Amino acid sequence: MKRTILLLFLLLAAMPARAQDAFLAALPGLGGGFGAQVEAVGQLGTLGDPRALPILTALSEGRLLRLADGTLLIRDGTRLLNAATGAPVDVAEADTQRVTINNRVRGALRGALGQLQIISPNSAERLAAADAIFRARSAENVPLLDAALARESVPEVRDRIALALAASRLVATNPADKLAGITALGETASPQARSILLEARAANPEVATQIDAAVAAIDQRLAIRRAAETLFQGLSLGSVLLLAALGLAVTFGVMGVINMAHGEFVMLGAYTTVMVQDFARDIPWLQPWSLPIAVPAAFLVTAAIGAAMERGLIRHLYGRPLETLLLTFGVGMMIQQAVRLIFGAQNREVISPPWMQGTLMLPFDIPVTANRLWILCFSLVIFGLILAAIRMTRFGLEMRAVTQRRPIAAAMGIRTGRVDALTFAFGSGIAGIAGVALSQIDNVSPNLGTGYIIDSFLVVVFGGVGSLAGTLIAAFGLGVINKMLEPWAGAVLAKVFVLVAVMAFIQRRPRGLFPQKGRAAEA
């Protein structure tokens, strides 16, 4: 009895000591070449020693430093800690060298961090860990995942762990495990699961038929999703076209001014976003709001410039479209060059807020990128607001009156000059708002506007000059058709096809999809 207790005691004492030895023995490898790093990361992951977690996290975030004698340090804020002991060290950072990694090490790190984090008390970390193990997939992880699955209570995390388990079982040697893995993967609609199954197919000819069936099942689910994805991409492209064209739909569509500087107003809106963000950079509480603040700011800036342009230049040229075209074209070039002189020719960096980054999952697992979804919603909201402004406000009424029959409107006491200026400012301001949204998906450079001017005119003319609803339908229609053509025609040809189709359509119906009727159309 005594001896047993003694033995047990010895065992207990020896176990952590051995683990610690292995832990310390694996550590120096992290500072070695890429091959040694991969090996050390793998060892630390399998050891499951929680002390490895901060070290591996530091390595993946580029915070692991090395002294000349090979000692590893972790940078924690401004402090430097010894990686092995966690004690603060007094060394100048200039004497250290950053430990660099490559993609292979990064892959190994993801797997090891997954192994270490699957027991984390934080469910988000467990979710990330399950995904990491799913990608890393190794038969060694099966017992680890089995245990994790048994104690997991959050359903979402459970699903992911089950998927990771299935993927890990697929590479196991046990045929029953393998089949279970295949069945579980076949019940998903995940492209990654499909990829893993196909990868396993060559190595496991004995279960090829099961794998084929599982892949076919996934393909069926993916086909529906793919169609939904294409539709979303088309709507997203349409929303960009809509945003770019809405301002023009007011200045050109309603007022009839051919404004070639429209693209430059969009560009100015994007630069306003950059300036608002630069301003908010030093004010922490303002930072997350910089984008929402940029929307009214861009509207005011571009509306003011638009009003000045209308009062100063354009109003002298009403009824002379050719001169207006040349004048606005020239003004556009001047704005572009002025921006180039003030801000430089280089692209300016625009920060995307966290809620506009990454991919969101819609129902039925349709992945959509967050920034595009926001822009789609934003464009519809702006469209609604414009429609409301024109239909329901006094200003909208006056605007319609002036554009339909100027002398009568003047006789009724409407100050037509003021309405002209306001309408043009309104259209320019909307272009500025579009610039805020486009800064999230395109380069903010002085050339930003040039890329959108042709598309904008295309949408407005195709939809029917003067018809806002036509602009909406034309934008989304062109977007969806473009994206449907793209997979089989390529990006260049798809655009050409769309242009040819619009040209053919305009030949038959010169007034677009929704021509204006009545006397206003002849004016």
CA 157/CA 138 separation, integer angstroms = 19
> How near is the Cβ of 56 to another protein at its closest, in Å?
14
Per-position DSSP letters for 115-130, written without gaps between them: HHHTT-S-HHHHHHHH
Q: Which of residues 370-409 bind another protein (CB under 8 A)?
A: 370-372
**The two three-digit tokens of residue 161, written as one number:** 């762990």
Q: How far apart are CA 443 and CA 273, in angstroms?
A: 12
Instruction: Specify the stretch interacting with another protein by CB under 8 A; choose among 10-18, 45-53, 416-424, 480-488.
Output: 480-488
CA distance 23 to 135: 25
Q: Is 351 helix (H, G, I), strand (E, B) or coil?
A: coil
Confirm or reject binding of residue 110 to another protein (CB under 8 A): yes
Q: What's the burial of 311, exposed, middle or buried (CB within 10 Å: 0-12/13-18/19+)?
A: middle
- Residue among 104, 281, 316, 320 that touches another protein (CB under 8 A): 104
Between 262 and 483, whose beta carbon lies closer to another protein? 483
Please give the DSSP secondary-structure letter assigned to residue 4. Answer: H
- What residues are paired with 72 via a beta bridge? 66
Quote the Cα angle for 441-442-448, to 5°.
145
273 part of the interface to another protein, by CB under 8 A: no
Q: Is 70 in the site for another protein (CB under 8 A)?
A: no
What is the footprint of another protein within residues 292-331 (CB under 8 A)? none
CB nearer another protein, residue 34 or residue 395:
34
Q: Is 444 a residue that touches another protein (CB under 8 A)?
A: yes
Question: Could you tell me which stretch among 2-10, 68-76, 236-244, 415-423 binds another protein (CB under 8 A)?
Answer: 236-244
Residue selected from 230, 287, 404, 416 as contacting another protein according to rule CB under 8 A: 230
Taking CA atoms, 126 is separated from 10, 55, 130, in Å, by 34, 18, 6
CB of 231 to another protein, least distance (A): 12
Stretch that binds another protein, among 74-82, 98-106, 153-161, 305-313 (CB under 8 A): 98-106
* Contact call for residue 515 and another protein (CB under 8 A): no
Does 195 sit near another protein (CB under 8 A)?
yes
Should residue 451 be labelled a site residue for another protein when binding is judged by CB under 8 A?
A: yes
Binding test (CB under 8 A) with another protein, winner from 30, 197, 431, 459? 197
- Which of 374, 461, 483, 498 binds another protein (CB under 8 A)? It is 483
Q: How many DSSP H helices and E strands does the chain contain? A: 20, 6
Let me know: does 65 contact 99? Beta carbons within 8 Å.
Answer: yes
Stretch that binds another protein, among 291-299, 441-449, 497-505, 509-517 (CB under 8 A): 441-449
25: nearest Cα among 8, 1, 49, 2: 49
- Judged by CB under 8 A, the stretch of 82-90, 106-114, 381-389, 398-406 that binds another protein is 106-114
CB of 108 to another protein, least distance (A): 9
Q: Does the footprint of another protein cover residue 103 (CB under 8 A)? A: yes
Residue 457 CB neighbour total at 10 angstroms: 19
Question: Under the criterion CB under 8 A, does residue 138 sit at the interface with another protein?
Answer: no
CA distance 53 to 60: 11
75 binds another protein (CB under 8 A): no
Nearest one of 469, 468, 236, 269 to 362, comparing CA atoms:
236
Q: Which residues of 78-110 are buried (b: 16+ CB within 10 A; e: fewer)?
A: eebbebbeeeebeeeeeebeebebeeebebbbb
Per CB under 8 A, the segment of 84-92, 196-204, 265-273, 297-305 that binds another protein is: 196-204
* 288 belongs to the binding site for another protein (CB under 8 A): no
173-178 CB contacts, 8 Å cutoff, 24+ apart: 173/139, 175/206, 175/207, 177/142, 178/204, 178/207
Q: CA-CA distance, 21 to 28, in Å (whole number)?
A: 12
Among 37, 43, 117, 233, contact with another protein (rule: CB under 8 A): 233
Q: Select 171 or 399, whichever has its Cβ closest to another protein.
A: 171
Residue 220 interacting with another protein (CB under 8 A): no
Measured from the CB atom, the residue of 85 and 346 that comes closer to another protein is 346
Angle value at C-alpha 308, between 306 and 314, nearest 5 degrees: 80
Using the rule CB under 8 A, give the single segment among 20-28, 47-55, 95-103, 294-302 that binds another protein: 95-103
CB-facing half-sphere around the CA of 96: CA atoms within 13 A: 22
Residues 164-183 that bind another protein (CB under 8 A): none
- Total number of residues that touch another protein (CB under 8 A): 56
> Which range, of 160-168, 249-257, 367-375, 507-515, touches another protein by CB under 8 A?
367-375
Helices (H), 344-467: 370-392, 394-404, 406-411, 416-438, 450-463
Which CB sits closer to another protein, 312 or 358?
A: 358
| Binding map of another protein across residues 16-45, x = CB under 8 A, - = no contact | ------------------x-----------
**Cβ closer to another protein: 226 or 511?**
226
CA 202, 208, 213, 214 torsion-angle sign: negative
Contacts with another protein, residue ranges (CB under 8 A):
34, 62, 100, 102-104, 106-107, 110, 135, 191-192, 194-201, 226, 229-230, 233, 236-237, 240, 345-349, 351-352, 357-359, 367, 369-372, 441-445, 447, 451, 483, 486-487, 490-492, 495
